[in-house]
Chain A
Amino acid sequence: MNTLLEVSGVSVSFDGFKAINNLSIQIGEAELRAVIGPNGAGKTTFMDIVTGKTKPDEGYVIWGEKSLSLLDMNESQIAQAGIGRKFQKPTVFEKQTVRENITMALKNPRSPLDLLFNRAAPDTEDRVRAVSDDIGLTDALDQLSGALSHGQKQWLEIGMLLAQDPRLLLVDEPAAGMSATEREQTTDILVRAAKKRAVVVVEHDMEFVRRLNCKVTVLHQGSVLAEGSLDHVTKNQDVIDVYLGR
């Protein structure tokens, strides 16, 4: 399996607190990966580093077959290179319609002049529909996204990520606050998405992770505690200690 993202030896601290400590993770192409860990394990910070929001104190982050260093790029460049991110809190643009939200995310040239002068790409509508079908929001395309339910907003956000057509999708707690049926649908969307691209899911909920049925990385105090199938890591004594609060 080709390595798509390689994080190695990364550390970062805030005011003396080491949020990430010598963290190394490799993500392969078209891989579904779950990252779990207790609060403060550094899951969100890990995503911040990959997406360029936080600059690490040391270590390096290498991307793709050209081995680009993500540390030299800003957020939008990283996003354009093919890394999409879904935040913990659903952040869709509530004052705009679902269609506008998805259109904005579609993989297209992103400079102001492109947007102003190449307005009517003929396949836009089809691509928007393809995404909305995928996330089950076709009927709601002309609704303001603020009017959607919490679960629908989560899906819309995942849909926007899919529209970006990234090679790596970072998803932060997608199932938080969802009903049981919504969770199931979310799992389906993610599993489907992972067929064509790498997906990294950060999640608390073990049931949800079990349903994803993928390799699991356990983070603790900013570094990798264990890695492997869910059954494998849950048998690991360290992991049990951490989760039982020793």
Chain B
Amino acid sequence: MERTFIAKNPSILWFLLGLSVFTVLVTIFSEAAGSSVVSTSFLKILGKTLCLCLVAIAMDVVWGYCGILSLGHFAFFGIGGYAIGMWLMYDRTKDIVVGSLENNILPPTPDEITIAIGTQIFGVVGSSEFPLIWAFSHSLPLQLLAVVLVPGALALVFGWLAFRSRVTGVYLSILTQAMTLALSLYLFQNDTGLRGNNGLSGLQNIPGLEAVSQATLSLWFFWASAFALGAGYVFFAWMLAGKFGSVIRAIRDNETRVRFLGYHVETYKLFIFTTTAMIASIAGALYYPQAGIINPAEIAPIASIYLAVWVAIGGRGRLYGAVIGAVFVSLMSSWFTGGSAPDINLGFYLVKWTDWWLILLGLTFVGVTLFFPKGIGGLFDLISNYREKQQ
């Protein structure tokens, strides 16, 4: 009898334990619980970081396990944000518009309401009409479905085209980057119906929950993010344990050989590419309500490359490595760029971290790629090797 995948992979239990303890601690010290240790804005950063961890795990699966260096997974993340953002924006604007129209002498007609909402939302791009993509924006369930299905369908079509013609390696990376660029350029246009470079905003206000304070809302989102991360972690761990995982890793190491074993490599790649795209999108759908705003710049190719940087620094080919990378780099990044890091006075030159952080990150990244290909996660190997030797 085969052992269960959790027994095979004890890191899952450690991870879940750590995540639960962290969640409980943050909850106790949050503003919603009456403490002031964790401010609401910091709570939001933590919640967002958890979402970034989730997308990093997805990236790790597609790259670290399956060997597809996708430079498009942050685009899927963004699509998730847009999909949920459309509902948030529509529904909230509708509430506001209906509220303001109530003061009118005549009760408003449906047309008047639609036009008023349209003007509110699309006024910034000089329009008041609802584009076709907003057709389902009135319905939360349909937009939630879109969070999963739209990136899923995009990944499926793109992946099918790319894998079918045996585009691999750097070629594939470049192609995914092109896809990302095309998507962000598309969103940047005013006439494509997603408010051009204004993006969607006011997403932190949840329709129907106006009475709930931001402190409490943030906590709820933090919980949801933690749950999603835990569930995502277990899902991927389950998926990658056993023979399926073997085949995926085998594809990474020698695609041709797997093909001669009789596996249809393209189907597997497509499966991984699409699944991770959908998880990335879910992460995005949880992230952007906490961020409050999404615009096309978020989806720019550079973001997807940063995602790869996190995973590389954290350690590829192990799920917790991706989590470590995302937490470490994104928190470091907000520490350095937020101005909290002390400047270094060299006497002849003042090193301001807001200016120098990216240089440090870039060079660190080169160093990690050159000298620590296993990333931070590799340290755990050193520790466990040391222990084995001690025994």
Contact = CB atoms under 8 A, between A and B. Distances in A.
A and B touch in the complex (CB under 8 A): yes
Interface of A: 51, 53, 74-77, 79-80, 84-85, 87, 91, 93-96, 100, 103-105, 110-112, 115-116, 119-120, 124, 160, 164
Contacts of A77: 264
B261 A79 contact: yes
Contacts of A103: 243, 246
B115 to A, nearest CB: 48
A112 B271 CA distance: 8
Contact of B246 (A51, A79, A94, A96): A96
Contacts of B263: 76, 79, 110
Contacts of A53: 256
B254 interface: yes
Q: Chain A CB within 10 Å — which of B247, B254, B260, B271 has the most? A: B260
Contacts of A115: 242-244, 247
A112 B253 contact: no
A125 to B, nearest CB: 8
Contacts of A95: 249, 253
B279 to A, nearest CB: 15
B267 interface: yes
B242 A104 contact: no
The 5 closest A-B pairs by CB, nearest first: A79-B262, A115-B244, A75-B259, A80-B262, A76-B264
B250 A104 contact: yes
Given A76-B263, A79-B261, A93 B243 contact: no
Given A79-B262, A80-B262, A110-B264, A116 B244 contact: yes
Given A91-B254, A96-B250, A164 B243 contact: no
Nearest to A82: B262
Contacts of A96: 246, 249-250
Contacts of A85: 260
Contacts of B265: 76
Which size class do B's interface residues fall under?
20 to 34
B264 A104 contact: no
B246 A100 contact: yes
A214 B48 CA distance: 68
B167 to A, nearest CB: 16
B237 to A, nearest CB: 13
Given A96-B249, A96-B250, A104-B246, A112 B2 contact: no
Interface of B: 1-2, 239, 242-244, 246-247, 249-250, 253-254, 256-265, 267-268, 271
Contacts of B262: 76, 79-80, 110, 164
Contacts of B268: 112
A74 B255 CA distance: 14
B329 to A, nearest CB: 26
18 contacts: A75-B259, A76-B259, A76-B261, A76-B264, A93-B250, A93-B253, A93-B257, A96-B246, A96-B249, A104-B258, A105-B261, A110-B264, A112-B244, A115-B244, A115-B247, A120-B1, A120-B2, A124-B2
Contacts of B256: 53, 75
Given A76-B264, A93-B253, A104 B243 contact: yes
A112 B254 contact: no
Contact of B260 (A84, A93, A110, A119): A84
Given A93-B254, A112-B244, A115-B244, A104 B261 contact: yes
Nearest to A119: B242
A79 B259 CA distance: 8
A116 B267 CA distance: 13
A111 B265 CA distance: 10
A159 to B, nearest CB: 12
Contacts of B2: 119-120, 124
Contacts of A80: 262
A122 to B, nearest CB: 8
A117 to B, nearest CB: 9
A53 B265 CA distance: 14
Nearest to B272: A112
Q: Chain B CB within 10 Å — which of A84, A87, A103, A119 has the most? A: A119
Given A110-B263, A164-B262, 8 more contacts: A51-B260, A75-B259, A76-B265, A91-B254, A93-B246, A96-B249, A112-B268, A120-B1
A19 to B, nearest CB: 19
Q: Chain A CB within 10 Å — which of B239, B247, B256, B268 has the most? A: B247
Contact of A94 (B243, B253, B271): B253
B239 A75 contact: no
B317 to A, nearest CB: 9
B68 to A, nearest CB: 15
